[in-house]
Structure 1
């Protein structure tokens, strides 16, 4: 494995670890490690204990995995060091999250944190009557690049080498050649098209996602939801363009018969796009909670104020979140996408036929693509 690829592994690994370590501070205080809690319990002792334990685990266990993977790469290990190390880092984060989630949920049940509280859900009808609009102009660069790659491939096809390089080693040199065919020549073009379509559909679908509004701060959280949608859509389109550019460079390397191309140069557009997405996501916070908006006086109210009803807290909906809050299953909710419990972004509602349909379509594309281009 080349030094360049090892450096890429170290950079991406540090980015993952940094994001994982920061995540407890970026999520809603009423959703510590995916457990719904009332605001007065947001700083319960068990929450602070699990936050500290999670961060120590991510730093120590994740750091050990990253050092081991980097050492493996520098020692000339197999090219599998990069994906194996990244998967192991994700597993470390998942293990720490599940442990913290289980500990907080157990104390919540034992002490009855929601007993006697007024629970409810909130909706802002303006999100339906005047919905946020998808920024289609931001999708044009990725769409035009995808179309341009297909046109360039069609024009280049007659003069392509009879043997196309379909695999490259860590140093960027071709190590497997196949006979030229439509399938081999346009494999990356199809991959680019599928990726663009999936990311566009996901991005468009989030604009139809159900927002998670705070019943005590409906106007504020609705405004944050609108701005969060716009920010994430634009940054996701930047990532899509970066990924498409990486694929286009890879396709041209195959068509041109180039023997070497720096993996760092090849991956740079996608890495930069991912960096933009992460910066926007982290600065926005979970569900846009870090986005500053005007808070109209008297919206939140105050619990226990004389002559006023107690503040309504968000309904305890943990029963719809399975396997430690990782999967949402609610047949009574028609939304295909819902905000994630831990992390920033959205997840599928596996109880909705639309969510299941989208999942089936994604799996079919992932499985069918290799068969089409074989």
Structure 2
């Protein structure tokens, strides 16, 4: 296997491992491993102990998988691309679920919410005077798609009658198709689909219901505004990076005999993912890592804690199911960004449309 393919085989599992290891740092202190707790319990010894065990397990098991993947990729072709990242995800889910169960058990056994006043709060100004959607940040992705369209139009007459549409890990063509509008413009269709999907998700996420802290509602509303803008901008930049990768992958398709460079294809995506992770670490889920009052005096604590709503989160605390909630998307309880309300039929329809688009794209080249 050449050095470019080896680099890609190592980079993707490392990114997955880094995100898994950093996940506990992204969420609010009152949501350790997706378990809702009172702020007064954020420093409970069981949480620190379980976080340490989680990171040790993910780091050791994930690191061993990455090392094994690099070693086998350098000497054999036994490991197929994508297998090791999936195995790392499996380790992450198992470790996360185990840690979540342990913290939830401590919360239940010690009755952490006993005697506390629970509540929810809203800020109508987030609806009447919302932050403007950062449309300007979508321009780079749209320009790249437009540039790819123009390039495909110019090169179409010179594209060979039989063109490569798939490459192996070393960049060698291994699947071909007859020249047609569908096969030549397939990268453009993928770009347009990815860009449209991210734009739609970004817009719905930007308008998603905020998760405000009833203890300091005004401070958390300010955090939510900055979080939403930064998170959506990072998504729009990621869309441009994905489009650049698609353009790099399209070039050898349009030029017969050229090898695909795995490094050139993966580098923009890796840069985009690094930006998203950087924004997540600096901002925190829901703005939890941002200063509350922009350097001013923090809001006085009302004494009310967030409602214990663990019953609406299923699986490993990653699936939100609440039929009484009209929200399409809500903030994740682990990681960074938003997730669907699987109890809302409209949200399920939106998810079906998003999932169905990439599944339908391969039919274009047939």
Q: What band does the TM-score fall into relative to the shorter chain? A: over 0.9
Q: Which runs of 5+ in 2 are unaligned?
A: none
Residue aligning to 1:41: 41
Residues 93 and 316 in structure 2, CA contact (< 8 A), matched pair in contact too: no
What is the alpha-carbon distance in structure 1 between the residues aligned to residue 169 and residue 46 of structure 2? 46
Question: Post-superposition shift, 1:35?
Answer: 0.3
Question: Post-superposition shift, 1:86?
Answer: 1.0
Q: Which runs of 5+ in 1 are unaligned?
A: 302-309
Residue aligning to 1:234: 233
**Counterparts in 2 of 1:130-279, with a 5 A limit?**
130-279=129-278
Question: Post-superposition shift, 1:297?
Answer: 4.4
Question: Post-superposition shift, 1:9?
Answer: 2.7
Is 1:331 the counterpart of 2:331 in the alignment? no
Question: Post-superposition shift, 1:79?
Answer: 6.5
Is 1:50 the counterpart of 2:50 in the alignment? yes
Q: Secondary structure at the match of 1:347?
A: strand
- Select between 226-235 and 118-127 the one with higher mean Cα deviation: 226-235
What is the alpha-carbon distance in structure 2 between the residues aligned to residue 119 and residue 370 of structure 1? 50
What is the alpha-carbon distance in structure 2 between the residues aligned to residue 283 and residue 21 of structure 1? 16
- Select between 3-12 and 312-321 the one with higher mean Cα deviation: 3-12
- After the TM superposition, which segments of 4 or more aligned residues of structure 1 sit over 4 Å from their partners? 295-298
Question: Post-superposition shift, 1:184?
Answer: 1.6
Residues 149 and 248 in structure 1, CA contact (< 8 A), matched pair in contact too: yes
With structure 2 as the length reference, what TM-score do the two structures score?
0.95
Q: Secondary structure at the match of 1:209?
A: coil
What is the alpha-carbon distance in structure 2 between the residues aligned to residue 18 and residue 172 of structure 1? 26
Residues 208 and 335 in structure 1, CA contact (< 8 A), matched pair in contact too: no
**Counterparts in 2 of 1:326-365, with a 5 A limit?**
326-365=318-357
- Select between 230-239 and 15-24 the one with higher mean Cα deviation: 15-24
Question: Post-superposition shift, 1:21?
Answer: 2.1
Question: Post-superposition shift, 1:139?
Answer: 0.3
**Counterparts in 2 of 1:272-311, with a 5 A limit?**
272-294=271-293, 297=297, 299-301=299-301, 311=303
Q: Secondary structure at the match of 2:132?
A: coil
Question: Post-superposition shift, 1:284?
Answer: 0.9
Closer, same or farther: CA 49–226 of 1 in aligned 2, 3 Å? same
Cα RMSD between the aligned structures? 1.7
Residue aligning to 1:321: 313
What is the alpha-carbon distance in structure 2 between the residues aligned to residue 6 and residue 134 of structure 1? 40
Question: Post-superposition shift, 1:337?
Answer: 1.0
Question: Post-superposition shift, 1:126?
Answer: 0.8
Q: Secondary structure at the match of 2:82?
A: helix
Q: Secondary structure at the match of 1:119?
A: strand
Closer, same or farther: CA 174–78 of 1 in aligned 2, 3 Å? farther
How many residue pairs match? The answer is 365
What is the alpha-carbon distance in structure 2 between the residues aligned to residue 120 and residue 373 of structure 1? 54
Residues 38 and 305 in structure 2, CA contact (< 8 A), matched pair in contact too: yes
How big is each residue's C-alpha offset from its partner over 1:280-332, in whole Å with a ceiling of 9 and x where there is no partner?
1111112111122417647232xxxxxxxx71000000011011211001112
Question: Post-superposition shift, 1:99?
Answer: 0.3
What is the alpha-carbon distance in structure 2 between the residues aligned to residue 229 and residue 73 of structure 1? 40
Residues 13 and 66 in structure 2, CA contact (< 8 A), matched pair in contact too: yes
Question: Post-superposition shift, 1:118?
Answer: 0.4
What is the alpha-carbon distance in structure 1 between the residues aligned to residue 78 and residue 161 of structure 2? 29
